[in-house]
Amino acid sequence: MSILDRFRLDDRVAIVTGASSGLGVAIAKALAEAGADVVLAARRTDRLADTARLVEAAGRRALCVRADVASPDDCRRVAAAAADLGRVGVLVNNAGIAEAVPASRETPEHFRRIVDTNLMGAYWMAQAAGAVMTGGGSIVNISSILGLVNTGLPQAGYSSSKAGLLGLTRDLAAQWSGRKGIRVNALAPGYFASEMTARQEDGYIDGIVRRIPLPRTGEPEELAAAVVFLASDAAGYVTGATLTVDGGLTIS
């Protein structure tokens, strides 16, 4: 097997949550280009059709499933649909929500909603996918550099959920890597063009970019390439790790 062959995902089914927009679209497209059939899960099914067309344009099968990852039943339904499609080998926990709210005004309902999606949803989806990954596999959790550092916005709920996701990654890797052959890793993206960054106040992203050693925001394909690496046999000896994809922001 050549080095480039190790990045291939042929004969595997990949699940991508939050696949209706932004980084989820780029991730699904990249996995398809690497050879995987892709199950696309999101709450907004009307937008999944566009992602499905990108997967199919790469010559792979796409299956759209409406799901709210905060629901364990929905997660099990997504995993079952993926198992019907073929050998489930990859899960990318990408679904997430973010809102900046000062801690003095954040309600219990708001905090729980963010944690239920970003952290609990990833856990329920990992449980469901792990049950159908009978031949081993790879789980990639999309965390954030806000799970590691602070960048000035009041995001206690979001930051807590993303930090918790890093702990979940380590624990699942310890439990499943040897026993089930499932590697579990996390990515901590910096600032990429997305619906989340588009909602920031004028000038905020410009200020962040001035702190980045590679002075720009990331391209979605750059994060997607890191997902393919962790999902594939190229990362066969990598588990429990967090890879920052942030242009160096966390060291600035």
Per the residue annotation, which of 158, 191, 204, 237 is the catalytic one?
158
Number of domains in the chain: 1
- Cα angle 158-116-87, degrees, rounded to a multiple of 5: 105
Residue 103 is assigned to a structural domain of this protein: yes
**What CATH number should be reported for the domain holding residue 182?**
3.40.50.720
CA distance 47 to 62: 13
pLDDT at 199 over 70: no
What's the domain range around 109?
A: 4-189+220-243
Residue 207 is assigned to a structural domain of this protein: no
pLDDT score, position 45? 87
Pick from 20-34, 110-124, 144-158, 165-179: least confident: 144-158
| pLDDT tens-digit series, residues 45-98 | 889 999 999 999 999 999 999 999 999 999 999 999 999 999 999 999 999 998
Span 94-117, average pLDDT:
93
pLDDT score, position 201? 67
Q: Is 123 a catalytic residue?
A: no
Residue 29 is assigned to a structural domain of this protein: yes
Residue 205 is assigned to a structural domain of this protein: no
pLDDT at 194 over 70: no
Residue 211 is assigned to a structural domain of this protein: no
Residue 208 is assigned to a structural domain of this protein: no
Residue 75 is assigned to a structural domain of this protein: yes
Kindly state the percentage of the chain with pLDDT values over 90.
87
Residue 123 is assigned to a structural domain of this protein: yes
| pLDDT tens-digit series, residues 202-247 | 678 888 999 999 999 999 999 999 999 999 999 999 999 999 999 9
